Chain A
Amino acid sequence: MKILEFLSDPIIGIEKWIVQLLENWGVAPEWQTFILYLIGAAILGTGALLFTLILIWAERKIIGRLQDRLGPNRIGPWGIFQPIADMLKIFIKEHIIPDGVDPIPYHLAPIISVASVLLLWSVVPFSDSVRGSNLNVALLFILGVGGLGELGVILAGWGSNNKFSMLAAFRASAQMISYEVPMAIVLLAIVILSGSMALGDIVKLQTIAYIFFLPLGAFIFFVASIAENGRAPFDLAEAESELVAGFNVEYSGLKFGMFYVADFLRAFTSAVIFSSIFLGGWRGPGAEQIPILGFVYLLIKTVIVWFLGVWIRGSLPRYRVDQMMAITWKFLTPLALALFIVIAFVAKLIENTNQWLQVLIFLVINVALFVVGFAIVRKFEKEKERKVVSTKKRALAQPTNPFTQSETGG
């Protein structure tokens, strides 16, 4: 019986054991919490960093298969030791520090990049009982720490003493701040539904997952989080097949590896946050009685969302820079604002009705808004674009070519 109880919630069991141990040693209660937090944070941080190794392997393998390649397959069965070999290699590579770098931003940038991703894990509730911190401003914290990632990018570009990396950093941070706007507006709508900014409470309140209330919001948030992570199809700041590297061009050795780790971990972290906010996090049948099940549910939901992101990365071609900016400023942001206004208004009107009726009304609103928004965009923007493109005069490669009929090269 005792073993079963322990197995149903092992982490709290271990925590109790450590507390008892510390009490026997005569440690003051304040220091007990401090030591517990220290152990928890250290395990979570190290675990997340090491988990990246699996993520890198899985992502490379999945994208390889999606694109009809084999992916890593040499080291170990199915190439599972590939990331470990990569890590060893990158660990003992020479650190080249180019002349004339600005030392503080240059050395701080990779650390801040990783820290900004790791910090997000501190507010994620993993199960009913286990969570880092049920911060009452968790959503603002997520937005703010997301901003730290931009700081890492801009510091890397600025410190490198390289015009191209600075240009890439400008582009990357313009993209990231642009996509933060619709993301934050969707988070506002979530706060309206839940009445709390604490992530633990938001998960707990989702007897019906918020994705059914706000499918459009979930869509906007998902697209924005892909773009915020700078992954394909929004990866033009560091387009692997077109540019040299982007803002991290001057980095080598483990400093570059840190950007790499941050990139892969950020994709998974934003999947965790997406599934906590929209898919009900650890919630599922029996998760409240047996907390360990909460981990499993959260993991399953997160892996599904993360896989969707990888799938998109593996199959869609890259957007142009003007298209990318237009998507956020001329589609996602107005749509998110309209969604927020309508939700704020309607939620007050149907405040005291049945929850399922609310879900139905919200669903209808979301679908209608999406259809209307998409129709408007298609009608105006496409026509405008066609006009602009058709009037453009293209420079001819060979102006003297006798087969060229018109000035526009037609």
Chain B
Amino acid sequence: MLNQWMYIGIFFIIAMFLPAVAIFLARILSPKKPTKIKNSVYECGMETYNPTWIQFKIQYYLYGLVFLIFDVEIVFLFPFAVAYGKLALFAVVEAIIFILILLGGYLYVWRKDALTWQ
């Protein structure tokens, strides 16, 4: 078990290392002639004004919230799915009721038009 996580760890380091080295090499090889205009932010060709890190549309936040609810639900259901072979029908029905409760919330969100892109 630990060996398998070790492999993942090694792979993670290598997966970060390979692109980092490639970018570093390219940085060394590539020409460097920065000018003021070249380094300016490319938006629409106009001068940028005001800070960039501003508040954006609330819709994204709503999608993020709904996603979070679903993801937590799914994480709760994974142990259920793994133990499925050992469960009786009663436990399965319980899990289905759990999903149905969440489905109620989902329908509420749907009716409130939080899932419609505006």
User: Which A-chain residue is minimally distant from B93 (CB atoms)?
Assistant: A345
Query: Are A92 and B8 touching (Cβ within 8 A)?
Result: no
Shortest Cβ distance from residue A204 to the other chain B in the assembled complex, whole angstroms: 16
Q: What string of 1s and 0s marks CB contacts (under 8 Å) between A336-364 and chain B?
A: 01001100110111000000000000000
Interface segment, one of A187-195, A207-215, A219-227: A187-195
Q: What string of 1s and 0s marks CB contacts (under 8 Å) between B15-57 and chain A?
A: 1101110110111011111100011111110001000111011
Could you tell me the distance between the alpha carbons of A118 and B18 in the complex, rounded to whole angstroms? 10
User: Which B-chain residue is minimally distant from A97 (CB atoms)?
Assistant: B39
Could you tell me the distance between the alpha carbons of A218 and B118 in the complex, rounded to whole angstroms? 30
Could you tell me the distance between the alpha carbons of A42 and B19 in the complex, rounded to whole angstroms? 12
Q: Knowing A140-B78, A166-B56, A192-B81 touch, does A177 contact B18 (C-beta < 8 A)? A: no
Query: Are A98 and B117 touching (Cβ within 8 A)?
Result: no
Could you tell me the distance between the alpha carbons of A184 and B1 in the complex, rounded to whole angstroms? 24
User: Which B-chain residue is minimally distant from A196 (CB atoms)?
Assistant: B82
Q: Knowing A91-B29, A118-B18 touch, does A250 contact B115 (C-beta < 8 A)? A: no
Q: Give which listed residue, B7, B96, B106, B116, contacts A37 with CB less than 8 A.
A: B7
Q: Knowing A170-B56, A177-B67 touch, does A163 contact B43 (C-beta < 8 A)? A: yes
User: Which A-chain residue is minimally distant from B57 (CB atoms)?
Assistant: A170
Total interface residues in chain B, CB < 8 Å: 71
Q: Give which listed residue, A99, A112, A134, A184, contacts B74 with CB less than 8 A.
A: A184
Is B108 an interface residue, CB under 8 A from the partner? no
Q: Which B residues between 47 and 92 are near A, CB-CB below 8 angstroms? A: 48, 52-54, 56-57, 59-60, 63-64, 66-67, 70-71, 74-75, 77-78, 81-82, 84-85, 87, 89, 92
Is A93 an interface residue, CB under 8 A from the partner? yes
Q: Which residues of A contact B34 (CB under 8 A)?
A: 96-97
**Range for the number of chain A residues in contact with chain B:** 35 or more
Shortest Cβ distance from residue A178 to the other chain B in the assembled complex, whole angstroms: 6
Query: Are A250 and B41 touching (Cβ within 8 A)?
Result: yes
Could you tell me the distance between the alpha carbons of A173 and B64 in the complex, rounded to whole angstroms? 9
Query: Are B67 and A180 touching (Cβ within 8 A)?
Result: yes
Could you tell me the distance between the alpha carbons of A110 and B118 in the complex, rounded to whole angstroms? 31
Interface segment, one of A5-13, A75-83, A274-282, A324-332: A324-332
Q: Which residues of A contact B75 (CB under 8 A)?
A: 140
Shortest Cβ distance from residue A203 to the other chain B in the assembled complex, whole angstroms: 16
Query: Are A135 and B12 touching (Cβ within 8 A)?
Result: no
User: Which A-chain residue is minimally distant from B16 (CB atoms)?
Assistant: A115
Query: Are A94 and B74 touching (Cβ within 8 A)?
Result: no
Q: Which A residues between 224 and 250 are near B, CB-CB below 8 angstroms? A: 244, 249-250
Q: Which residues of A contact B84 (CB under 8 A)?
A: 191-192, 195, 344, 347-348
Q: Which residues of B contact A161 (CB under 8 A)?
A: 41, 52
Query: Are B63 and A37 touching (Cβ within 8 A)?
Result: no
Could you tell me the distance between the alpha carbons of A216 and B27 in the complex, rounded to whole angstroms? 47
Q: Which residues of B contact A122 (CB under 8 A)?
A: 7-8, 11
Query: Are B19 and A110 touching (Cβ within 8 A)?
Result: yes
Q: Which residues of B contact A118 (CB under 8 A)?
A: 11, 14-15, 18
Query: Are A41 and B39 touching (Cβ within 8 A)?
Result: no
Is A111 an interface residue, CB under 8 A from the partner? yes
Query: Are B70 and A188 touching (Cβ within 8 A)?
Result: no
Query: Are A38 and B82 touching (Cβ within 8 A)?
Result: no
Shortest Cβ distance from residue A96 to the other chain B in the assembled complex, whole angstroms: 6
Shortest Cβ distance from residue B102 to the other chain A in the assembled complex, whole angstroms: 9
Shortest Cβ distance from residue A121 to the other chain B in the assembled complex, whole angstroms: 8
Q: Which residues of B contact A133 (CB under 8 A)?
A: 4-5, 7-8, 11
Q: Which residues of B contact A329 (CB under 8 A)?
A: 66, 110, 115
Is B101 an interface residue, CB under 8 A from the partner? no
Is A162 an interface residue, CB under 8 A from the partner? yes
Query: Are A114 and B92 touching (Cβ within 8 A)?
Result: no
12 A-B pairs, CB-CB below 8 angstroms? Answer: A41-B14, A90-B26, A94-B32, A112-B16, A122-B8, A132-B11, A158-B53, A162-B42, A166-B53, A174-B59, A180-B71, A341-B96
Besides A96-B39, A122-B7, 16 new A-B residue pairs in contact (Cβ under 8 A), listed by A number: A37-B10, A44-B11, A45-B11, A91-B30, A115-B19, A118-B15, A141-B8, A166-B56, A174-B59, A174-B64, A191-B84, A244-B42, A261-B19, A325-B115, A326-B115, A348-B84
* Closest A-B pairs by Cβ, 3 of them: A322-B117, A254-B26, A191-B81
